[in-house]
Amino acid sequence: MSDADTPLVLIVDDEPAQVALLSYNLKAAGFRIATAKDGEEAVLAVAELGPDVILLDWMLPRLSGLEACRQIRATPEGREASIIMVSARSEEGDRVRGLDTGADDYIIKPYSVAELIARVRANLRRLRPTSTGQALQYNDIRLEPDSYRVMRGSENLHLGPTEFRLLAAFMERPGKVWTREALLDRVWGRDIYIDTRTVDVHVGRLRKTLCAAGGDDPIRTVRGAGYAMG
């Protein structure tokens, strides 16, 4: 799995010992890690890094976790991420506030690291199914990430690594319009500087392979925006 395929977890906490503990265990579980020590830094990190999952502590300096959650959800990168609010506040009203503010999940301190990692994986299954090995189906197209296999009907399709990752992104979010920049970030990674026209070349290759054995082109070009499946 390339770095671009490995899910990125942003840990937002002002307690160094807690950050170290979570970083160690999440890395051991196969995740990439980024950290932020306060709410303002978290908002900037989300815009810069585009994490898949954000572990957001409620009690933060400079900007509370609750307000950071609101601001993160207002950004394009934040709308794509899964936010798990982490807090010692255990009252029902607090949990409701956290979820209503935009969190996808809420975990109460103290918690077991095993449970937290299980929550991260559960949220990833909804967000990026292929990152947990889940097969995807769209009409007559099936993608199996564990065996690196793609079929259309009864035909096996042979895709290169880049086209495979492109197809996975499209199939995870049918109907979502991906800009070329978003596809570059998702498929190639944010540290790779490639011309956006490269996306057009690989989408063209993917379309050619998908339609080689017949069938309609499932990828839609959205003029002035990008591409979508369906």
Kindly give, in sequence order, each residue whose CB lies less than 8 Å from that of residue 103, ignoring residues fewer than 6 positions away: 56, 69, 83, 84, 85
Q: What is the pLDDT of residues 138-155, one digit of tens each?
A: 999 999 988 889 999 999
Q: What is the pLDDT of residues 172-181, one digit of tens each?
A: 989 999 999 8
Question: Would you say residue 158 has pLDDT above 80?
Answer: yes
Q: Give the integer Cα–Cα distance in Å for 225 and 230.
A: 15
pLDDT reported for residue 191: 62
Q: Angle at which helices 65-73 and 92-101 pack, to 10 degrees?
A: 30
Q: Angle at which helices 65-73 and 39-49 pack, to 10 degrees?
A: 30
Q: What is the pLDDT of residues 25-67, one digit of tens each?
A: 999 999 999 999 999 999 999 999 989 999 999 999 889 999 9
Q: Which of 68, 107, 116, 67 is nearest to 87 (CA)?
A: 107
pLDDT reported for residue 124: 87
Higher pLDDT among residues 129 and 92, named by residue = 92
Kindly give, in sequence order, each residue whose CB lies less than 8 Å from that of residue 2, ignoring residues fewer than 6 positions away: 161, 165, 189
The torsion defined by the Cα of 206, 211, 215 and 217, in degrees rounded to 10, comes to 40
CB 32 within 8 Å of CB 3: yes
Question: Would you say residue 133 has pLDDT above 90?
Answer: no
Q: What is the pLDDT of residues 184-217, one digit of tens each?
A: 888 887 666 777 888 999 999 999 999 987 889 9
3-state secondary structure 97-113: HHHHHCCCEEEECCCCH
Q: Which domains does the chain have, with CATH numbers?
A: 8-127 (3.40.50.2300), 136-229 (1.10.10.10)
Q: Give the integer Cα–Cα distance in Å for 24 and 133.
A: 23
The torsion defined by the Cα of 198, 201, 203 and 207, in degrees rounded to 10, comes to -170
Kindly give, in sequence order, each residue whose CB lies less than 8 Å from that of residue 82, ignoring residues fewer than 6 positions away: 52, 53, 54, 104, 105, 123, 124, 126, 127
Average pLDDT over residues 122-131: 82
Q: What is the pLDDT of residues 61-114, one digit of tens each?
A: 889 999 999 999 999 889 889 999 999 988 999 899 999 999 999 999 999 999
Instruction: Return the number of other C-beta atoms located less than 10 Å from residue 112's C-beta.
Output: 9
pTM of the model: 0.72
Backbone angles phi, psi at 30, to 5 degrees: 100, 15
